[in-house]
Amino acid sequence: MKDKIIDNAITLFSEKGYDGTTLDDIAKSVNIKKASLYYHFDSKKSIYEQSVKCCFDYLNNIIMMNQNKSNYSIDALYQFLFEFIFDIEERYIRMYVQLSNTPEEFSGNIYGQIQDLNQIIK
C-alpha cells in the first residue's frame, strides 16, 4: 500500500504541486480514508519527501543503466538523450518541473538529491 500511495502521490504532486495536493486527494486516489494515510506516513510532508526521493531514484537508475554504455562520443550522447527523453514517464518530468515551486522547507532535501545525482554523472 505504501508504494501505491507514493505512486499516486507522484502523479498528484506533478499535476497540482505540493500546495495544491491535499491528503484527501491522495487518500481518494488509493481508495482509503485520510486517517489511514497516517498508518503509513506521518504527514503530507513525509509523503512528498518520499515522492521526491522516488523520482530522483528513478532518474539515478536511468543514468546508471546508461553510464556503462557510453563511449563518450557525440553519437553516444545523442543516443542517451533520445532514450532518456522517450523512456522517462511524463509524470516524472512534470514532478521535476514542480520542484522549482516547492516550499522552501524542502530545498535542502532537493539540493542533496541533486548533489547525489551530480556525483553519479561525474
Indicate the average pLDDT of the chain.
Answer: 85
Gap between the terminal Cα atoms of the chain: 36
pLDDT value at position 68?
Answer: 62
pLDDT value at position 87?
Answer: 67
Over the stretch 46-72, which tens digit does the pLDDT of each residue have? 999 999 999 989 888 877 776 665 555
Q: How many CA atoms lie within 13 A of 105 on its CB side?
A: 7
Domains in the chain and their CATH numbers? 2-121 (1.10.357.10)
Whether residue 39 has pLDDT greater than 70: yes
DSSP 68-94: TT--SSHHHHHHHHHHHHHHS-HHHHH
Of 99 and 31, more confident: 31
pLDDT value at position 61?
Answer: 81
Whether residue 73 has pLDDT greater than 70: no
Whether residue 32 has pLDDT greater than 60: yes
Write b or e for each residue in 93-110: b if 16 or more Cβ atoms lie within 10 A of its Cβ, otherwise e: ebbeebbeebeeebeebb
pLDDT value at position 49?
Answer: 95
